[in-house]
Amino acid sequence: MPPEASSANPSAVAPYLFSLMQRNIATSGFVLADHNASVLPPAPGGFTAPGCILASPSWSVGGYSYPGNVAPISYDYAFNWTRDSAITVSVVLSQAAAQIPVVAATGILANYVNFAETSQASGNIGQAKYTPEGGPTGASDESDGPALRVLTILQGFASLDGQTQNVARNVIAADLNYLLSNSRYQDPTVTLWEDTYGQSIFARAVQLRCLNQVIALGPGLDIPVPPTAQGAATWLGQQLPSHWSGSSEFYVSVLDPVRLAGDPSAPYDPAIDPIMACLYGDGIAFSDPQLLSTASQVRAQWTAGGVAPYPINAVDAGNGRGPMVGRYLGDEYDGLSLTSDTGHPWAVCTCSLAQLYYELADAINNGTPVPDDPLAATFFSQIGVTASDPGPQVVAALRNAGDSMLSAVIYHSNKLELSEQFDQASGYEKSVSNLTWSYAAFLLAVAAR
C-alpha cells in the first residue's frame, strides 16, 4: 500500500509496519549475518542467535541510503540493544493475535528469553547492547534495560512452556539482583539516549513499573519476590516528583547530568524523556498536568514561534500533518556526527507524543476528568480545545492530534520503512534505516489509538 493511499489512517498501515519490524527479529529459521564476526567474539559462524533483535541492520562501513544523508553513517546499530529488544518483543506480544499468531509470538518470546540468558552470562547484565550472538560489547551500563526486560518476560510468562519458564525465572532473578544489589536502582545511569549520565526520570519510572509488576505478579507465577523490592519501589515512587521544576514548569529528564565524552553540552530540557517515562513506566499519569505542561513545551519548541523550529513542521502544518518532534533541546546528533548544527525530529519521539494524545483520550473517554489546571492549558490550546469543552470534543481533538503526527511519520517515510530521524528541513529520512524501535513506537501508538 503506497503512503499516499493511507496517510490519513495510521491503523491501515500498521500490519505492514509490523511485518517490516519482524525483519529485524532473528529466529532459528531466519538468521542475519554478523558483519562484526571477526572483530567481537564470540561469533560462531557469524550469524544471529535466535531471539536476537537488531536495533537496525545499518552499520558504519558505507551505510547511507537516504537523500538526507550526505555521507556514510558513523554509528553501528547492528547489535541487540537490551532496551529496544524488550520494547519490540512487548509489542509482538501485545499485538498477537491481531498481527501475528499467538503461537508465533510465544515462539519469539521463548527465543528472546533464551537469548537473554546467553547475554547475561556473557558479561555485565546492565550493558546497553550485545552482539548478535549474545556476546559482550563493553557498552555503557544502562539500568533501564534490565527493568524493561523483566517487564516483557512477565507480560508473556504464562504462555511459555515449563522449561522456558524456568529459564525465564533465572533471567528475572538475575535482572532483579542487578537492580537491587548494592541499591543500584538508586544510582545514576547512562540515559536512554546514551549521551548523558545522571538520575534519569525514564530509568526510574521503568524500574518502578518493573518492581510493581514483580510484586503483583511474582507470587502467582512462582517467581520469588526479593525482600527489598517493596522498599525500592517505594523509594523510586518518592523520587519521581523531585524531577519537577516549578520555575520552568516541566519535568527535568536527568538530575545532576554529566554529558558523556564526545557529546557537546546541551540545555536538554524540555525533552521527550518524561513523556516516554509515562508511557513505559509507572508513577506519572497520562492526565498529570505537570506532564501535559512538559509535553506542550516539547511540542512548542520545534514548531512556529518556538526556540528551535523545524522548517519541515511549517510545511507540514500547511498540509494538515505533524508536527514532528525530536529528543531534547540542543540535540546535535544527526546520525553522522555528534556536533551537527542542530538536531532533527525522530520517529520514536513523534510516535511517543502521538501515543500520549491517544492514551489521554482513552482515559478521558473512560471517565478520567479532563485536567482543568493552568499547567495543562497550553497543551489543550495547541490542539484547539480547552479543559472546559465537552469531554467528547476533547477526546476527538486528542485523537486528531495523534493522527496528524503519525500521518507526518508515514508521509515522510521511505515507502513506509522507518529510519531513526527525519531531516528537519527537507523531511527526508536520516541516520540509520529500518530502526526497530521506530516501528515499535508507531505500533504502540496505533494500539493506543
Q: What does the pLDDT read at residue 245?
A: 98
Is the pLDDT assigned to residue 61 strictly greater than 60? no
Q: Looking at 315-422, which runs of residues are DSSP E strands?
A: 328-329, 421-422
Query: And the C-alpha cell for 413?
Result: 517515510
Domains and CATH numbers, the chain: 3-448 (1.50.10.10)
Strands 429-430 and 250-251: unpaired
Q: Indicate the DSSP class of residue 62.
A: S
Is the pLDDT assigned to residue 295 strictly greater than 80? yes
Q: Indicate the DSSP class of residue 110.
A: H
Tens of pLDDT, residue by residue over 374-402, are: 999 999 999 999 999 999 999 999 999 99
Residue 64 CB neighbours (<10 A): 20
Residue 184's Cα: distance from chain center in Å? 22
Query: And the C-alpha cell for 153?
Result: 518476560
Q: What percent of the chain has pLDDT over 90?
A: 79
Cα separation of the two ends of the chain: 20
Q: Looking at 145-259, which runs of residues are DSSP E strands?
A: 189-190, 196-200, 244-245, 250-251, 254-259
The predicted model scores a pTM of: 0.94
Whether 349 contacts 272, CB under 8 Å: yes
Whether 185 contacts 236, CB under 8 Å: yes
CA 262 vs CA 149, 194, 339: distances in Å: 29, 11, 9
Tens of pLDDT, residue by residue over 152-164, are: 999 999 999 999 9
Is the pLDDT assigned to residue 69 strictly greater than 70? no
Residue 283 CB neighbours (<10 A): 23
What average pLDDT does the chain have?
Answer: 91
Q: Could you tell me which of 263, 151, 268 has the C-alpha nearest to residue 201?
A: 268
User: What are the start-end ranges of the H helices in 181-288?
Assistant: 201-217, 229-239, 273-280
Q: How far apart are CA 5 and CA 131, in angstroms?
A: 39
Q: Could you tell me which of 344, 327, 335, 321 has the C-alpha nearest to residue 410?
A: 321
Is the pLDDT assigned to residue 41 strictly greater than 90? no
Whether 51 contacts 114, CB under 8 Å: yes
Query: And the C-alpha cell for 110?
Result: 521463548
Q: What does the pLDDT read at residue 262?
A: 80
Strands 268-271 and 80-81: unpaired
Is the pLDDT assigned to residue 182 strictly greater than 90? no
Residue 191 CB neighbours (<10 A): 26
SS3 100: strand
Buried-exposed string 23-41: b where 16+ CB fall within 10 A, e elsewhere:
ebbbbeeebbebbbbeebe
Is the pLDDT assigned to residue 44 strictly greater than 70? no
Q: What does the pLDDT read at residue 416?
A: 93
Number of residues assigned to the chain:
449
Tens of pLDDT, residue by residue over 217-274, are: 999 999 999 999 999 999 999 999 999 999 999 999 999 999 998 888 888 999 999 9
Is the pLDDT assigned to residue 436 strictly greater than 50? yes
Is the pLDDT assigned to residue 60 strictly greater than 90? no
φ, ψ (nearest 5 deg) of residue 81:
-80, 130
- 339 pLDDT band, cuts 50/70/90, is confident
Q: Could you tell me which of 37, 38, 76, 30 has the C-alpha nearest to residue 56?
A: 76
Q: What does the pLDDT read at residue 77?
A: 87
Query: And the C-alpha cell for 268?
Result: 536538554
- 337 pLDDT band, cuts 50/70/90, is confident
